[in-house]
């Protein structure tokens, strides 16, 4: 072999080692979580838990409200309809008859 071919082989080997090192470093970055990523994941979990608690509380309040309306025999829709109807009747009674 000539000196030139040996130098080319050596340069290729050095280049290959450099690429392998870069690949290893990139893979290591993805496999090893950073502390900032861990902190962010903990923060996300905390807010998810708070949202779950809030949703459960809201759901419970809505169930209690529905039960209260069911126990009284009227629904919110029925109450609004009655109010609108009686308002209409009052206006008709207070206005002069148009016969």
57 with 83, same domain: the answer is yes
Tokens 């206006």, residue located: 91
Q: By C-alpha distance, which of 17, 14, 37 is closest to 25?
A: 17
Task: Tell me if 24 is assigned to some domain.
Answer: yes
Task: Tell me if 14 is assigned to some domain.
Answer: yes
Task: Tell me if 40 is assigned to some domain.
Answer: no
Mean pLDDT on 74-81:
61
26 with 54, same domain: the answer is no
Task: Tell me if 41 is assigned to some domain.
Answer: no
CA distance 62 to 20: 60
Confidence grade of residue 99 (pLDDT, cut at 50, 70, 90): very low
Task: Tell me if 95 is assigned to some domain.
Answer: no
Q: What is the pLDDT of residues 39-67, one digit of tens each?
A: 899 999 999 999 999 999 999 998 888 88
* Domains held by the chain: number: 2
Residue 70: domain span: 49-88
């Amino acid at each position: 072999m000539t000196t030139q071919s040996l130098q080319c082989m050596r340069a290729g080997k050095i280049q290959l080692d450099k690429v392998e090192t870069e690949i290893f470093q990139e893979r290591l970055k993805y496999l090893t979580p950073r502390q900032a990523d861990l902190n962010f994941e903990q923060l996300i979990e905390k807010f998810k838990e708070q949202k779950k608690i809030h949703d459960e509380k809201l759901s419970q309040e809505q169930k209690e409200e529905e039960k209260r309306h069911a126990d009284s025999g009227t629904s919110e829709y029925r109450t609004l309809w009655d109010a609108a109807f009686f308002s209409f009747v009052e206006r008709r009674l207070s206005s002069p008859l148009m016969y």
